[in-house]
Structure 1
């Protein structure tokens, strides 16, 4: 119950942030957007239709058609998120003065819209738009979700060429890029982790030093080198990015010939490890 209440709060805040980015920054400055909101904005420019009402109608149609391919919890949260976005757009859509700088507007619209989208997606919900359509095509035709969703958004954005012109369409692409980065930041968190694989004949010693000096856990795997045809142990360590230089120094102090691979980790959970307190 607590998680559900938290999700409702996230969806409400996310819907408000996204809607305000549309009505305060996108529409007054003649910019576009992706998804159903982008269609609503284009129709508003072309015919003067209310983007809030149009977005609600389109989202309702998409959800009614696609509810069979969505998980039950996702349906419930999407039915909450989509109308809230439309409601907040409808309430705030009139008489907002433009900033006078479309590029700055695009940057901040992407930032605040991305934060709103990230809060909504973090709950496991969707915004009732092209992501639902993409899931429908994936379910019925086996199309790739990410590529299908990208294709739909690209069609919406490029259709804006005929309404808002080439320059503002380019600003819209910048908006969407920043929005993607901002939403990823919210979804993945502010403290990204690094996974470090260390292949060395002294892997156990490296692991001991990491545990002693950094107060974090490390795991040793038994391995075999395909090139040298020799056994070679591997240490696997999860740290935050700020500890990376210290870890490198520890590895070099034990074995300066160790082979090290570093890659980003999207999420870490479970276990009883203390992920680098020092």
Structure 2
């Protein structure tokens, strides 16, 4: 692996850490002081933390929701390790660990930073959404339902991640309304809406991309298959103007693998010609990756 690729990957790991930190700041400084709840596994961890405090009379010097979230993610990490790419697994694990550390030890204000609840929801949602979006851009995720969503997407062709999240979060916020207060559930939903909107804006859709590579080098397809695990179709062609023979390769990847593919091709043929077609619909033996 070239030094440029190593440097780029190191930058991505740094962005994952910063994204997890930004998410944790948004939660601890703006959402937790309002006694609001996040979505998915983290939301479940927060509800259990509150029940332990209120029903069992347990009081902790720090917020244990982050630790509970990490514990609940352990079986999901196993799924990610067994079924998904090593790159995705490591970055997701790193993101959740950093979230756990900051959400546990970052001081939580005794009173909300802003008086207006809606303003806190918006700012917390924006910060959390940017943090999650940055992590997703670097081919990781924040754990929890994201792992299940990617897993089921790989297992079932027509699976809807949105429907899974909607179902789980509907049950979660219904519990909030019943166990705590309807206002808490409503503002938690507003926070989630803001978080989701900003995450989608920060993280482009993971669309499929078809790439055609024109080169005279003979080792490019082998490198693509070895380093990226993608299949390549190769055939011989000829330039109409030069009458020179060239090799034409086509490969389907996702949006986040484009730069990796470019680096592989350019490292073996600096004059190679590449064409990218976005939004390709793929059916059949194609591995969906985050």
Q: Is the 8 A contact 2:32 2:108 kept in 1?
A: no
**Aligned residue number for residue 106 of structure 1:** 121
Residue by residue over 1:155-208, the C-alpha shift from the partner in whole angstroms, topping out at 9 and shown as x without a partner, is: 32332212331112111111111112212232249xxxxxxxxxxxxxxxxxxx
**Aligned residue number for residue 142 of structure 2:** 127
Q: Is the 8 A contact 2:91 2:140 kept in 1?
A: yes
**1:60 counterpart = 2:74:** yes
Q: CA deviation at 1:59?
A: 1.7
Determine which of 3, 11, 26 is the counterpart of 2:31. 26
- Within 2, Cα distance between the matches of 1:154 and 1:131? 16
Residue by residue over 1:44-70, the C-alpha shift from the partner in whole angstroms, topping out at 9 and shown as x without a partner, is: 222137112111111223212443222
Q: Is the 8 A contact 1:122 1:187 kept in 2?
A: yes
**Aligned residue number for residue 85 of structure 2:** 71
Q: CA deviation at 1:35?
A: 1.6
Task: Give the 3 Å change call, closer, same or farther, for CA 29–53 of structure 1 in structure 2.
Answer: same
**1:177 counterpart = 2:182:** no
- Whichever of the two has the greater Rg, that structure is 1
- Within 1, Cα distance between the matches of 2:152 and 2:36? 29
TM-score normalised to structure 2 length: 0.60
Task: Give the 3 Å change call, closer, same or farther, for CA 71–146 of structure 1 in structure 2.
Answer: farther
TM-score normalised to structure 1 length: 0.63
Q: Is the 8 A contact 1:36 1:55 kept in 2?
A: yes
**Aligned residue number for residue 11 of structure 2:** 6
Q: CA deviation at 1:138?
A: 4.0
5 Å-filtered alignment, 1:225-240, equals: none
Q: Is the 8 A contact 1:23 1:96 kept in 2?
A: no
Determine which of 88, 92, 100 is the counterpart of 2:106. 92
**1:160 counterpart = 2:176:** yes
5 Å-filtered alignment, 1:226-265, equals: none
**SS at 2:170's partner residue?**
helix
Task: Give the 3 Å change call, closer, same or farther, for CA 148–110 of structure 1 in structure 2.
Answer: same
**1:36 counterpart = 2:41:** yes
Q: CA deviation at 1:144?
A: 2.6
5 Å-filtered alignment, 1:184-223, equals: 184-188=200-204
Give the length in aligned residue pairs.
197
Q: What runs of 5+ residues in structure 2 fail to find an aligned partner?
A: 1-5, 54-62, 206-254, 263-272, 275-290
Q: What runs of 5+ residues in structure 1 fail to find an aligned partner?
A: 190-265, 273-278
Q: Is the 8 A contact 1:7 1:123 kept in 2?
A: yes
**Aligned residue number for residue 258 of structure 1:** none
Residue by residue over 1:65-123, the C-alpha shift from the partner in whole angstroms, topping out at 9 and shown as x without a partner, is: 44322222111111111111111101115554224432221111111111111111111
Q: Which moved more, 1:64-73 or 1:102-111?
A: 64-73
